[in-house]
Amino acid sequence: MSGEMSRAHSSASGPRESGVWGWLNRRTGVDDLLRGALDEPIPGGARFAYIFGSGLLFIFISQVITGVFLALYYVPSADHAHTTVAYITKTVTAGSFLRSLHAYGASAMVVVLFLHLSQTYIYGSYKGRRELLWLSGCVLFALVLAMAFTGYLLPWDQRAYFATAVGTNAVSEIPWIGESIKRLMRGGTEMGTLTISKFFVAHVFLIPAFIFALVGSHIFLFRKAGAAGPVDEDPYQPKQKSELFYPRQVLMDLSLTALLIIGLGLLCFFVPMQLGPPANPADAQYVPRPEWYYLPIFQWLKYWHGSAAIVGVLVIPTLLVLAILALPFLDRSVERRPWKRPAAMGAYAFVVFMLLGLGLRSQYLDRHDSGVAQQLAKQKADEDEYARKPFDPELSSASLAAANVTLADPLAAKGKTIFEGQSCNACHGDGGVGTAAAPALLGINKKFSPGQLAELFKHPTAKMNAGGMPPIDLPPDDLKALIAYVESLK
Amino acid sequence: MTGETDLSAADKSAPRESRRSFLAALLGVGSVFVAALLSVPLIRFALFPLIRRTTELKGSPVGELSEFASSTEPVMRTIRIEQVDGWRKAVSEKAVYVTRDGQGQVRVLTSICPHLGCTVPWNKEKKEFTCPCHGATFAPDGSRISGPSLRGMDTLQASVENGQLLVQFQYFRQLVSDKEVIG
C-alpha cells in the first residue's frame, strides 16, 4: 500500500509535471491510468509465450479501422455489393490494399486466436479463479468466427455467394429447428439481397458491439485475476518474483505487432485479395469451397448424412462446445505443467490432429478428383480474368428505363421520336419517367387501352388541361405510333 | 520513517527511472511514426474523390465535323450523355442542334426552350425555331426573335477532337434573361 502511494507521489512530482503533459495529467490523471495499465506484475517475468492476446487486440483494432473505411464506399445490397467492392479494388486509391488488409486480417485473427487459445490451454492459464476469463474468451472465439462467416458473403462474388450458400445449408441439417434458422439467416428460402442486409447488420453493428463489450470484460477479468505466469506457478497465489508488464513484455508484444504489420503489409501489397466475378446463383457448375479455417467443419459435415446427421451435426459439436466451456469448472487441479496433465494434452493433440486431418483431407480430395480439380482451376482462372478487367460502372436504373426505349417495335420507335419532337418529354420526362410538371407514364397500358389513350390525347380531361396538357393534333399514323410508344413504357 | 526509506529508494532508482522514460519516449515516437505510416493508405483511400474525379460528365460525340460543313440550316442530333457518379453511371439521350453563328462558326444549341423547358423543333418553312408550348421563336443561330422566352436558345460548350465534334451537355435555369448553369 505504502509502495503504491509513494509511486503515485513520485509521479506527481516527476519531471512530466510541467508543460502540456503536466496540464493534461492534472486534468485527466492520464499518467496514473498509463501506470495502472503498464505496471501489471507478471509472475516469473516477461515471456514471448504471452504475446498473443495483445496481438489479437491489435488485429481487432485494425479490422475496425479498415472496416469503417471500406464502408465509405460499400453498399449492402445484392444489386450493388459486388459493383462497390469492384470499385474499391479496381478504382479507389489504396482500395485493393485496404480490402486485402481487412480480408487477410480475418485469417490472421483466426491464426493468432488459435495460438492464444493454445497457449492458455497448454499453460493451464485458465486455472485458479479464471472461469469467467475463460468463458469470455470462448464467446469471443465464437464471435470472431461469426465475424469471418458474415463478412465473407459481403463482396457477393461467386466464391462468397456459394460458400455462404453451403454454410447456411449446413445449418439446416440441425434437426427440427435447422430449416427455420437457415431461413432466418437468409431472410428467405433462398440467398438474396435480404441475406446481405442481415449479414451486413450482423457484421457491422451487432457482432462488433458484443466483441467490444467482451474484449472489455476479458481484459478486466484478466487484470482482476492477474497474469497466471509460467507453468510451474501457483494459479491462485503466485509466488515467483514478478516483473512489470512495462517495458520488457511491452517490447515483446510489440515485436508480434511489428511482425503482423510487416507480414500483412507485404502480403497485401504483393498478393492482394482477389475479387471474383459477381455471384451468379444460376451457375450449377460452381464448386463452393469455404475459407481455409472452415475447411475442417466443411469436411466433417460430409461424413454425416440421413439419420446419423443428428450425431455429427448436433450431438458431437454440442458436447465438444460444452466440454470446452466447462473446462475450468471440471479441471479443478492446480497442476499446470503440461507433462503432468496427459489427459488434457492428449485431448488437445486429438482435436488439433482432427482439425488438421480434416482440412488436409478436404484439400487432398479436391486435388485427386479430376472433375473437381478441373472446375476449381477454371474458377480460379475466371477470378484471374475478372481481376484483370478494368472497372465498369453500373448502369443506373433511370438510364435503363431510357435505354429500353431502343425498342424492337419500329412503330414504338417512331413514336419515341414523336414523343420527343412534340416535347412530351419536357413535362413527362425522358422515357416517360415523370417530372414535377407532369405524372409518369410508366405502366399506363394497365390503365388505358390504346383507344382510350387516343381519345385522351385528342380531348384531354379538364384536369389534364388545367395541368398544361394540350390536345394533340397529329396525323393518324403518327398518333398510332405515339400511342404504341406510350403503351410500351413500363 | 517510511518517508526516509522512500526518499533513498527514489534516489537509487533515479537512473533507472530516466532510462524508463527514455524508452517510453522512443516507443512513443516509434508508435507515432508507425501509426502515421499505416494511416497513409487510409488517407489516400478516404481522399480518393480529391485525388481523382469520381463524378464527371463526359463530352458526348455529336458526329464528324465534316458532316455539318455543307448544312445550310440547323441539324438535329441525338447525343448520348454519360454521367459517371462514383461506381454507377447514368446514360441519357438529349436532342441538340448543330448550327452556325454570325461568323459561320459551328455552334451547338440545346433543344430545351429557355422559357419553360419544352423541346424546340426546327420549322423548315419559316426557317426558325418555334416552341410548340408557348410559341417562342428563335433564329437559326438560336437568338431570340419573339415570344415569352427571356433569352435566346442556349449554346453548349463544344470542342473538336480528331475531326469529331464533342459537346458538353448542361441544363440552364429557365425563365431568366441570363444564361445560368444548373448542373
pLDDT tops 70 at residue A403: no
pLDDT tens, residue by residue, A291-325: 999 999 999 989 988 788 888 888 999 999 999 99
B-chain residues near A470 (CB < 8 A):
133
Query: Which of A95, A254, A258 minimises the CB distance to B45?
Result: A95
Q: What is the mean pLDDT of residues B142-148?
A: 90
**Closest approach of B107 to chain A, Cα-based (Å):** 21
ipTM confidence: 0.82
Both A191 and A265 in a single domain? yes
pLDDT tops 90 at residue A155: yes
Using the 3D structure, point to which of A360, A388, A416 is the last residue of a domain: A388
> For residue B132, what is the nearest residue in chain A, using CA coordinates?
A422
pLDDT for res A404: 53
Q: Interhelix angle for A193-201 vs A158-171, to 10°?
A: 80
**B94 or A51, greater pLDDT:** A51
Tell me the C-alpha distance between A17 and A30, whole Å. 12
Tell me the C-alpha distance between A320 and A330, whole Å. 14
Using the 3D structure, point to which of A368, A388, A408 is the last residue of a domain: A388
**Whether A85 contacts A156, CB under 8 Å:** yes
Both A381 and A416 in a single domain? no
Contacts of A47 (CB under 8 A, 6+ apart): A230, A249, A252
Tell me the C-alpha distance between A365 and B119, whole Å. 67
Binary contact (A10, B10; C-beta < 8 A): yes
Q: What is the mean pLDDT of residues A426-450?
A: 81
In a domain, A480, yes or no: yes
**A205 or B7, greater pLDDT:** A205
DSSP designation for A45: -
Both A411 and A371 in a single domain? no
The CATH number given to whatever domain includes residue A370 is 1.20.810.10
Both A279 and A337 in a single domain? yes
A-chain residues near B95 (CB < 8 A):
420
Tell me the C-alpha distance between B94 and B116, whole Å. 16
pLDDT for res A344: 94
Q: How confident is the model at residue A190 (pLDDT cuts 50, 70, 90)?
A: very high
Tell me the C-alpha distance between A217 and A208, whole Å. 14
pLDDT for res B15: 65
Both A214 and A344 in a single domain? yes
Both A375 and A424 in a single domain? no
Using the 3D structure, point to which of A353, A388, A423 is the last residue of a domain: A388
Binary contact (B45, A422; C-beta < 8 A): no
Domain residues for the domain of A457 are: 397-488
Domain count, chain A: 2
Both A113 and A61 in a single domain? yes
pLDDT tens, residue by residue, B149-161: 999 999 998 888 8
Q: What is the mean pLDDT of residues A368-395?
A: 93
**Whether B128 contacts B139, CB under 8 Å:** yes
**Closest approach of A65 to chain B, Cα-based (Å):** 9
Binary contact (B51, A393; C-beta < 8 A): no
B-chain residues near A69 (CB < 8 A):
42, 45-46
One-letter amino acid at A62 equals S
Q: Which residues pair with B119 in a beta bridge?
A: B112
In a domain, A20, yes or no: no
Contacts of A283 (CB under 8 A, 6+ apart): A158
Which pTM value belongs to this model? Answer: 0.83
Q: What is the mean pLDDT of residues A270-287?
A: 94
**Closest approach of B74 to chain A, Cα-based (Å):** 15
Using alpha carbons, list the distances in angstroms from residue B96 to A236, A246, A433, B156, B183. Answer: 86, 74, 21, 9, 17
Tell me the C-alpha distance between A65 and A87, whole Å. 19
